[in-house]
Structure 1
Amino acid sequence: MTVTTGPRLGMVAGETSGDLLAGLLLGGLKSRWPDLASFGIGGPRMAEHGFDAWWPHEKLAVRGYVEVLRHYRELVGIRNALGDRLLKERPDAFIGVDAPDFNLGLETRLKSAGIKTVHFISPSIWAWRGKRIEKIRAAADHVLCIFPFEPEIYAKHGIAASYVGHPLADAIPVEVPRAASRVALGLDADVQVVALLPGSRRSEIQYNAPRVLAAAQLMKRERPGLRFVLPAVPSLRSMIDPLVAQYAPGAGVQVLNGMSHQALGACDVTLIASGTATLEAALFKRPMVITYVMHWLTYQLMKRMAYQPWVGLPNILLRDFAVPELLQAEATPDNLARAAFKWLDDPEAGASLVRRFEGLHQQLRCNTAQAATDAIEKVLRA
């Protein structure tokens, strides 16, 4: 097809991180096609670019086998209804943003019906569940990869793919806005600040927040001058505030509505749940302690399928335990507090980590919005 006016794109982005990535992508697409129309499942970052959300992105914010089983009927019902509506609307292409367990099945249905499909954010087939590449082959006409080693993997299996860099590497400044971030949060320049990021899903808050907050309580007791900030998804405030009162009543935790980038820009160290946020922390050049706790059965299943010794994205990309990972039974409040103190007490180690993160930032920074838009335009023209 020849694209003379803005295309009509179906899109699905699950949870907060997917909405952020899709919003950055839509910014590039709208620059190319100002009258572009987009619709499907998304959140507020996508809405800023005129996205029409038929369902809110929070519906897909479920992680882990056990947790997904609890919501299975609802998720399947949404996917079936969405597929029906997209087949009726016949968009020029469909772009699935992350959420592979939801999107790949939907993409397969749409592709078999003649709708062009793009998957943005390659599933981590190099880390676990490598057999999913066959599902990807059936689902996607093109895969947009955010890490430089991924297109070669797809080429070996005859799947079209492009490296487009990571949109967060473009969105996050190379020079960390530390002073401005502290001003935005009302924090003095000379205090030590710990950012608490226990996750953006309900299950993550349930499992991670009590341990992270209890660690903050221990740290505050030992060093009263510390300040703590916790950027929260606004819809989860009603869940987070009681946990703060229960597990960190004396820590003076400043709970923020969103503002995760300001929190990372302002902090000296972060206690952070494994996920996209760890890459954001690395791009902000911040020492971190990665943690994650989930249902024990989910953990056992995922552990057996893992191909690499690392869980956190910064460690996977650097191929080293550059930052500590405290998972499951190791994620005790005392262990988390001790690991955070090590970063605060060893500025040389922190400076060395900053240099490694600077190199990573440059590697991932390549105008993702434009590169992805170029790749999507080729799919539309094919």
Structure 2
Amino acid sequence: DRYIVVDCGGGTVDLTVHQIEQPEGTLKELYKASGGPYGSVGVDLAFEKMLCKIFSEDFIQTFKMKRPAAWVDLMIAFEARKRTAAPQRSNHLNISLPFSFIDFYRRHKGHNVETALRKSSVNFVTWSSQGMLRMSSEAMNELFQPTIQQIVQHIGDLMNKPEVKGIKYLFLVGGFAESTMLQNAVQTAFSEICRVIIPQDVGLTILKGAVLFGLDPTIVRVRRSPLTYGVGVLNKYVEGKHPKEKLLVKDGKNWCTDIFDKFVSVDQSVALGDIVQRSYCPARLGQRKIIINIYCSSTDDVVYITDPGVRKCGTINLDLPDINDAKTFRREIKASMQFGDTEIKVTAMDVKTSKIVRAAIDFLSN
């Protein structure tokens, strides 16, 4: 069985796709984890934009700077109403405006809040005599739509990937998944394609999952590499193949600098414990130290570490103690990367002395 987990939080939405491997019951990641900045904060930003339309952006920015505590109170009041928003709701929602907002607006603009609302082009928002913004359900729905549409679009794009065909279940979890607005939109968009499951206590589901994963981290047997990983090396310079600006002459030999030696490609399947190994030699005889820089990129067509989008994500320093034949024979250095866990374990070993240096790169967030 294949399923997709849509974790909707405050700032981001994160998507993962797994297949349950039988008979072990372990999990195989079918597509690299993806997501975007489509969390519930997007609704807050839409509310702020609405306030800017009504009261002017200049005033709102000044108020946020001069009265930060009152601004927080206003957003807390909006948060309470945001949680009660529902697709079928017909009655209005009242949002308390702090007295300091009303007073500050009168001093700043020379007229009151009610006048601003009357002159505003924003529909479905009026002034209540109790000192509140009175929003219709249509106005609240409009605030949700941009964020919800981005979430639905992202899920749809992921489901159209060839690797993700045959999804049976969609689990909607995370704090933002408590919103009936989001629940309704996801069910409407995908209930005919797969079964949409919204667990009880959706906000706690991620925490429970983290605890279970901590008890058995080997449950995910196969992951997808989120990035392309490799190391920067020197190779023999080949006329016509390598650019002239990469030419380095050392001890009478021509080398090409900045070569990206790839260990794993983006979105490549890596099983728990998979090891990729390479052998290298120091650039010159008698070298007493070797530095291996580890690089990553979001694309798989990387040739040089200077290519756009390539960045350094780790370094290994290996001291090479002096030995009798160090001036005669080139030392062999074995570099390896172990994949499949939540971090990449990188090691470099001096074959002559068996000295090993280790490092780790966060596999999930790097």
Q: Is TM more than 0.5 here?
A: no
Give the structure-2-normalised TM-score.
0.23
Q: Which one has a bigger Cα radius of gyration? A: 2
Structure with the higher strand share, 1 or 2: 2
